[in-house]
Amino acid sequence: MKELRQRFVMRTISDRTLLVAAIHSGDWSDVRRLAHGLSGSAGVFGFSAVGLDAQALEEAIDAGEDKRRLLDLGLALLDRLERVDQTP
């Protein structure tokens, strides 16, 4: 399980880069896809806060929330992902 958790941590580094690009370009379908993947797997590896932030972003996109709200949620998720690789 430790190896799988480490793979998840490494994936978050890649996902964070992809999320930055998707948010910057306004590609909310890609943001949603990435958030969906994170919301489904984060809790399994002990990162429930990442999963909750990702789920909130995914749900906001699905609900058609305004761009400012999506940006706020996206930035919160990016901040949380940045801290994942610093977790022992």
Residue boundaries of the structural domains of the chain:
2-84
Structure-token pair, residue 41: 């797997």
Contact 82, 59 (CB under 8 A): no
Res 33: pLDDT: 97
Determine if the pTM surpasses 0.95.
Answer: no
Res 85: pLDDT: 67
Supply the CATH classification number for the domain 2-84: 1.20.120
Digit-by-digit pLDDT tens for the chain (88 residues) are 788 888 999 999 999 999 999 999 999 999 999 999 999 899 899 899 999 999 999 999 999 999 999 999 999 999 999 988 665 5
